[in-house]
Structure 1
Amino acid sequence: MRTSVIYTLQEPKFFKKQLLKWAQQYREITFLDSNDYHQQYSSFDTVLAADALTLIKTDNYKAFEDLSAYQKTTRDWIFGYLSYDLKNDTEKLESNNYDGLDFPDLFFFQPKKLFFIKGNQLEIAYLNMCDDELENDFNEILATTVENEDEHTPLAIKQRITKEGYIEKVTQMLEHIHLGDIYEANFCMEFYAEDAIINPYEKYQALNAISEPPFATYFKNYKQYLLSASPERYIRKDESKIISQPIKGTARRSNSIQEDEAIKLELTKNEKERSENIMIVDLVRNDLSRTAKKGSVNVEELCGAYTFKQVHHLISTVVSELDDEYSPVDVIRTSFPMGSMTGAPKISAMQIIEKLEETKRGLYSGAVGYFTPTGDFDFNVVIRSILYNEANKYVSFSVGSAITSKALPEKEYDECLLKAKAMRSVLE
């Protein structure tokens, strides 16, 4: 049982910064923030989980089986991540590309300390609480200073694949499309820095301020960090309802209101961008059907245009009703990784991705989120993110785009640079 207390906050936005700064003392942290972005499906604005009572970390071998056992055993809130390479647990696939980060493939923990923010209401829920611990912690958080302390030297960011190499690889992917091996694939490339020392808290705040996305994440497992400005939900379970919201289709913003609206409108009509989205919607529908009650898979919204601080995106919403014979982890196992980060057909796309990409994706294009005590869950897609291993001083971020038959390699390259802009500006 958790001891729970509710407080009213005077300045929720400032308190969130204090809360995350205060939590740095703990070995395990998951901080999920919606940045007050309006969403149809949401349980809270912000949550912070810290200080593991129990945890599970593993490679991809029988990872979903282990996660299911852990989730059923704890019957509590658990927070963590699923790396892209868990694909190898469900299909005959491999991940043999270079890995400079060396994160576990799966990591979840049961937090002793939980903080939920909704509007100006804060709920604190603790396990194994000592006398006055909760109130003392709350007062400590209110006294935490959050002045900018980021005095680290700007990093020299390197690119794993050159422009010429990128164009050559996308050309090869187009050949696979023309041969009928795939219809679409998400091709990614890594940017990185070696011998890197950064302040993860400060870099997260800077990255989040640029984008203010609905699925922002700060994750820490000892010396391994994820700083994410993700705009995309992978999958959510709300009682028996399953919701997945793939993003495909991107357009730039403009400082001119009229031009910005024209760009957004053009995005909704762009045949290439819409076809990218619709292909993935079909893939997600198929994924959800594997655990859904018959006839319950529906597309609630197709290619809706949504505006973020840096870009416009096309987002679709696919829903289903969970068949009673399947567990919460079954839903994730049968739909992972998110279709927007693979392609169609899914397995063929992942095989070709592995052949052409030069970096193991790891947590990038995986998912971070939580399970509730009743088995509901919510996970993002790890994109627009910085990954940092403090132990080996390696910083990495990757970007990608969807390659279809209509793709022009140089334009796809430019889209990747647009998506990389926020991470580069924060690190360089």
Structure 2
Amino acid sequence: MRTIKKLSFSLNEVNKTRLLHWAQQFEEVVWLDSNNYSQKHETYQALLAVDAFTALKTDVYDAFSKLKEYQTTTADWIFGYLTYDLKNDVEKLHSNNFDGLNFPDLYFFQPKKIFLFSENSVELHYLNMVADEIEEDWASISKSLQKRGTDKNLNPVKINIRTTKDNYIRKVEEVLEHIKRGDIYEANVCQEFYAEDAEIKPLQTFLQLNKISKPPFSVFLKLNNFFALSASPERYIKRSGNTVISQPIKGTAKRIENEIEDSKIAQQLAKDPKERSENIMITDLVRNDLARIAEKGSVTVDELCAIYTFKQVHQMISTVSCTVPQDFSSVEVLRNTYPMGSMTGAPKISAMQIIEEIEDAKRGLYSGAIGYFSPTGDFDFNVVIRSILYNASKKYVSFSVGSAITSNSVPEKEYEECLLKAKAMRQVLNHTL
């Protein structure tokens, strides 16, 4: 079904930019980039998928069943996203908050052309119907101009805040009341920053965001007029054969230029009882989610509260793994663990109900997942955080941030953490790099 060709290739910044400029001719583009971040569970340094042969686009109703049928029927590579609101397909929940983006709830496509990058080579997987275009495409990529990648957006984007500081603090206090009553132990409370009647250059915006963040789960997604420009540091879940891993993030600290002081901040994060408590609660939730699908006794916490350092922030990350039966459906793995615990809370269903009552905007793709399935059913998905979302038809730009609320939370500090997480997106959109 696919013609495969392997070529020598150096995945440097110039070549990445050439690839992405070449890809803009297509209506469907997904670029997944590890930014050479050293990690234990890496399969590819980057992947590029373009030009839909088939596609699945649907609302939440029966979404996972439709995805399961599509994934098994194609038995091929498919790339796309799951919005947070697929929670409504998993549980008896709803999403009635304001939605300025209007993304489809689930969108996957089977690409005609796929590029799989390792350190010094690339494999081109072309559907046989377009296999005769390999040489021509590769010549075009090699000649593609990259200087436009440094262009700025048309104008600085005026960012509006949907939830004021006072309102956010009030919402955190409401969550703390729920915690005191025993309704939940933890909930992730998010807020939206947005711009209306705004035009941006999605590729240039992504390149700038990626340059200042360099995260391991970076994504440029273009599906017709829907764009996701993601600088995500977080993996939601990955399957390799019968091994499944999840890597929830809970715990954030700022970075500073002074190396000694920066190292002290990382050490303080590692010992912070509040941050460790947040992380351990969610790690336990992930363990429980995986236990529903795992072979008995196979769920393991490989790393607990490990500190990872990125260009913008230090993060506390845990790694949980399990073994699933070889014939267990990959989509069922997702259904049984969705949405990811790091963006909901514990217990998960109660936290999601409270989140819906408290937040001002529908999350949509924010705190959802972007990734791919391979023909064998292996998959890898990020968590859509630190991401700019753009509906080019509506000229609506959005990014959201949140923080985990536990009994030890101080509302003002949670708001400050939100602003820290929003910093890179605001800089890019306001041209204040």
TM-score w.r.t. length of structure 2: 0.98
| CA apart distance, 1:14 | 1.6
Task: Return 5+ residue gaps in structure 2 as ranges.
Answer: none
Is contact 2:401-2:418 (8 Å) kept? yes
Match of 1:387 in 2: 389
1:116 and 2:116 are equivalent in the alignment = yes
Quote how far apart the aligned CAs of 1:132 are.
Answer: 3.9
Identity across aligned pairs (percent)?
60
2:205 is equivalent to residue 208 of structure 1: no
CA distance in 2, matches of 1:108, 1:165: 36
Residue 239 (structure 1) aligns with? 241
Q: 1:315 aligns with which of 314, 317, 337?
A: 317
- Whether the 8 Å CA contact 2:153–2:205 is kept in 1: the answer is no
1:183-202 equivalences under 5 Å are 183-202=185-204
Conserved 8 A contact 2:187-2:406:
yes
CA distance in 1, matches of 2:67, 2:332: 10
Contact 1:3–1:129 (Cα < 8 Å) also in 2: no
Looking at structure 1, the residues matched to 101 and 200 of structure 2 have their Cα atoms a distance apart, in angstroms, of 15
CA distance in 2, matches of 1:175, 1:423: 31
Counterpart of 1:142, as a letter, is S
Aligned position for 1:138:
138
Cα deviations across residues 367-413 of structure 1 (Å, max 9, x unaligned)? 00000000010000000000000000000000000000000000000
Structure 1 residues 31 and 10, CA gap change in structure 2 (3 angstroms): closer
Number of equivalent positions? 428
Distance 1:15 1:169, change over 3 A: same
Q: SS in structure 1 opposite 2:128?
A: coil
SS state of the match for residue 103, structure 2?
coil
Distance across 2 between alignment mates of 1:249 and 1:381: 15
C-alpha distance in structure 1 between counterparts of 2:337 and 2:78, whole Å: 20
**Equivalent residue number for residue 151 of structure 2:** 149
Amino acid of the residue matched to residue 225 of structure 1?
F
Query: Partner residue of 2:163?
Result: 161
Deviation of 1:131 after TM superposition, in Å, equals 6.4
Other structure's SS at 2:204 match: helix
2:267 pairs, out of 260, 265, 268, with 265
Question: Is the Cα–Cα contact under 8 Å of residues 160 and 358 in structure 1 kept in the other structure?
Answer: yes
Pick which of 107-116 and 140-149 moved more.
Answer: 140-149
- The 3-state SS of whatever aligns with 1:189 is strand
In the TM superposition, structure 1's runs of 4+ consecutive aligned residues that sit over 6 Å from their partners are none
Pairwise CA RMSD? 1.0
Match of 1:350, SS state, is helix
Distance 1:78 1:325, change over 3 A: closer
Partners of 2:112 and 2:130 within 8 A in 1: no
Kindly state the Cα deviation for residue 128 of structure 1 after the two structures are TM-superposed: 3.1
Give the 3 Å change call, closer, same or farther, for CA 326–356 of structure 1 in structure 2. same
Q: Deviations over 1:235-257 (max 9, x none)?
A: 00010000000000011112111
Q: Which runs of 5+ in 1 are unaligned?
A: none
Taking the aligned partners of 2:152 and 2:312, their CA distance within structure 1 comes to: 23
* Alignment partners' CA distance in 2, 1:262 and 1:420: 23
For the residue of structure 1 that corresponds to 2:338, the secondary structure is coil
- Which of 416, 423, 426 does residue 418 from structure 2 map onto? 416
Q: Which amino acid in the other structure matches residue 109 of structure 1?
A: F
Distance 2:244 2:30 in 1: 23
Rounded Cα–Cα distance in structure 2 between residues aligned with 1:278 and 1:335: 17
Using the TM superposition, give the Cα deviation of residue 44 of structure 1 relative to its aligned residue in structure 2, in angstroms: 0.6
